[in-house]
Amino acid sequence: MVGAVITDAKARRPDLRFPLPPEFERRLKGARVLSLRRRAKYLLCELSTGETLIMHLGMSGRFTVKGDGRGRFHKDYRADPRHDHVSLVVSGPMGTATIDYNDPRRFGFMDLAPTAKLATSPHLCGLGPEPLGEEFTAEMLAASLKGKAAPAKSALLDQRVVAGLGNIYVCEALFRAGISPRRKAGTIAGLRAMRLHGAIRQVLEEAIEAGGSSLKDFTASDGSLGYFQHSFKVYDREGRPCPACGASIKRYNQAGRSTFACSNCQR
């Protein structure tokens, strides 16, 4: 997309997680894509118009690319066209391609914000550090957890503490750090914070290397599957043996989300 011009934009339904902004199609048409970036779980597409297209996939969103010769899809690839909510046609040196945003549950969304004021946009302003960035250290992790009464699980899902962790990687990081998801976040400091910091980075790096986790419908934009799900040590493994000690992995609910943990290895 970078360097290409958005020659057409179609919004088939405006009621995503949030309503699409006014004149969405018009504000996209004719814009050149200056850059594509990511912040936390948001995709940021900087446009020549001075605005940035902010995109979030929610739980079930996906982009597919067709028409540039790279549209190779995994054989199990399916996308119900009823859920193609936004389509962009981009044209540039690489050719012309159609990019479809498909999202059955509509927990994802798109928005437009002035690039100059991006950092203060409501979506991005409160976000914590990037877990793989330089500024994320064990010391600052301990500092942001200090005084928190919430359980470790909830604190790590809080995007103001660290930006970009979801349910899978929080469960996996806590296991690798030997920390119970129920432990009071404020008690994580010193060596424990260093272990957690290292575990967060390690699990994310390994997952990225593996192309992500394909639970049911996650694929790369060319349809290829991630395989980090085969490296899960606790997530979605209720009742199976802990890879470290053999005890049965437990599942329980925290903040409305499933938690998986080994109560023997995680304290």
Q: Which residues bind DNA (CB under 7 A)?
A: 15, 17, 40-41, 56, 58-60, 80, 82-83, 104-107, 123, 147-151, 154-155, 157, 159, 166-168, 185-186, 212-218, 255-258
Measured from the CB of residue 191, what is the shortest distance to DNA in angstroms? 22
Cβ distance to DNA smaller for residue 10 or 184:
184
The angle at the Cα of 235, spanning 230 to 238, to the nearest 5 degrees, equals: 110
For DNA, which is the closer residue by CB, 59 or 244?
A: 59
The Cα–Cα gap between 62 and 31 comes to 22
Task: Determine phi and psi for 196, rounding to 5 degrees.
Answer: -65, -45
Return the number of the residue (123 or 233) whose C-beta is nearest DNA: 123
Nearer to DNA, 29 or 201 (CB): 201
CA-closest candidate to residue 169, choices 252, 257, 61, 77 = 257
**Smallest separation (angstroms) from DNA to the CB of 8:** 25
Q: Give min distance, CB of 258 to DNA, in A.
A: 3
Question: Could you give the CA distance from residue 188 to residue 120 in angstroms, rounded to a whole number?
Answer: 30
Q: Please measure the distance between the N-terminal and C-terminal CA atoms of the chain and give it in whole angstroms.
A: 46
Spatial distance between the Cα atoms of 160 and 78, rounded to a whole number of angstroms: 35
Using alpha carbons, select from 52, 173, 200, 29 the residue that is nearest to residue 112: 52
Q: Which of 195, 38, 185, 26 is nearest to 123 (CA)?
A: 38
Name which of 31 and 169 has its Cβ closer to DNA: 169
Q: Which is nearer to DNA, 40 or 94 (CB)?
A: 40
Q: Which H or E run includes 168?
A: helix 167-177
Tell the smallest beta-carbon distance from residue 123 to DNA (Å): 6
Q: What is the closest distance, in whole angstroms, from the C-beta atom of residue 42 to DNA in the complex?
A: 7
Smallest distance from the beta carbon of 236 to DNA, in angstroms? 8
